[in-house]
Amino acid sequence: MTTSTPIEHITVLGAGTMGSQIAAVCALSGYRTTLVDIAEEPLEQAKAQLRARLERDVAKSRRTAEDVAATWQRLQFATDRDAVVATTDFVIEAAVEDLAIKRQIFASLDAVAPAHAILATNSSNIVSSQIASATHRADKVCNMHFFNPALVMKCVEIVPHDGTSPQTMERTRALAESLGKEVVQLNREIPGFVANRLLNALRKEALNLIDQDIASPADIDKAARDALGHPMGPFELMDLVGLDVVYLIRLAEYEQTKEESSLPHPQIKQLYEAGRFGRKSGRGWYDYASA
């Protein structure tokens, strides 16, 4: 098979919020899609959450019942990664932001995936050059970064490393566009890519304002929403994404840059160690227990 082999079967690794929604986007767009995780429990949770979300979309006339029914016919769930990947055309990895784990995953994928298959990572911060060297198909490895919630957000960043082939970039871009996404294609890799580097600059200044006791998180968020037109402020967004995710992303960037400025902010570290991860835990910058 060659790089012109059509993409018919997509495998998404990781049944968390991002992975499950990416899989749903692919299935909604007509692709036979398999969501893979190491255990049944996260797959069952993903299935229940997706069902509730898609049924809500039908109730609000955002999607038709027929489209959703067809999506469920195309979307499968599995724990046998190697068996699934052996028949896939495109893999999107959405596992934890840990370089060692990702390298192990990609080495395993490389051993069983068809020769034509592209192996993409959804990582927003770990550049694919650090992962591609774990495979024998570095030319078919890239970043394909979706945004949360993937069922809603239109943007996808596509990022090559020095060894990514033009054909891989073309096929990845075509896939993203077929999913109804707007593509931001980088010329070369850099930790954080474009959107998150812009976001990090805003977050850094918001945290500086907190350090100086200039304003409260609520008022800083209000300024971002009502003065700048952002859908939510930086502290609200951190709580939505998960402060555990924010913390681990900063650690992953530090591992790549070794720059002190990349380390998590002390208050984010404090919230992380206290288990205050945001909406998912009921408390982060804000208290959601009574919401």
187 is catalytic: no
Catalytic residue, candidates 123, 129, 143, 157: 157
**Location of structure tokens 């990947």:** 85
Report cis status (omega within 30 of 0) of the bond before 149: yes
Catalytic residue, candidates 9, 145, 161, 265: 145
Catalytic residue, candidates 123, 128, 196, 262: 196
Catalytic residue, candidates 20, 122, 123, 124: 124
157 is catalytic: yes
Enzyme catalytic residues = 124, 145, 157, 196
